[in-house]
């Protein structure tokens, strides 16, 4: 339950997560990216088929074992990124729906130290707003 009595729902269903290796490979080979330290965001716009069952936005989060050794720390950073995205995805959804497109995102953490939630929030919002402006 959210604090403050706010009854709005901000879902993040499993269908919005990228599970296909092929999708990730095409996303990384596309080379469209934005950078806001400690994150790099790869993105790709695709045409949206009306009868398709896939969601309009799909994301993946990658935190390399090479840069963050501890699994506990990697999972903590992933949880923070997912939470910020879950709360802020309406920013990108509104622009993509208007353009009748589908977008695939990959957030890659490239920092070495554990970021604060506020830093993660600031940088993910910055990346999402850049992508939203890209569609306009």
List the domains of the chain with CATH numbers.
33-135 (3.30.230.10)
Q: pLDDT band at 19, cuts 50/70/90? A: confident
Look up the pTM and report it: 0.85
Average pLDDT over residues 109-116: 94
User: At which residue do the structure tokens 């990697």 appear?
Assistant: 74
Give the model's pLDDT for residue 2. 45
Residue 107 Cα distances to 20, 43, 49, 82, 104, angstroms: 15, 9, 25, 10, 10
Q: pLDDT band at 136, cuts 50/70/90? A: low
Average pLDDT over residues 42-69: 86
Please write the tens of the pLDDT for every residue from 20-52: 899 889 988 988 999 999 999 999 988 877 767
Judged on CB neighbours under 10 Å (0-12, 13-18, 19+), 25 is exposed
Check pLDDT > 70 for residue 3.
no
Give the model's pLDDT for residue 72. 95
């Amino acid at each position: 339950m959210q604090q403050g009595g706010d009854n709005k729902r901000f879902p993040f269903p499993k269908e919005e997560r990228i599970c296909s290796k092929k999708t990730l490979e095409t996303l990384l080979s596309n080379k469209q990216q934005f950078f806001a330290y400690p994150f790099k965001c790869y993105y790709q716009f695709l045409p949206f088929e009306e009868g398709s069952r896939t969601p309009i936005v799909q994301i993946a989060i990658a935190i390399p074992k090479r840069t963050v050794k501890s699994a506990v720390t990697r999972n903590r950073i992933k949880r923070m990124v997912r939470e910020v995205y879950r709360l802020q995805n309406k920013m990108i959804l509104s622009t993509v729906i208007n353009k009748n497109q589908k977008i695939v995102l990959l957030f890659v953490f490239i920092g070495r130290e554990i970021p604060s939630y506020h830093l993660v929030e600031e940088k993910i919002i910055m990346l999402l707003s850049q992508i939203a402006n890209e569609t306009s």
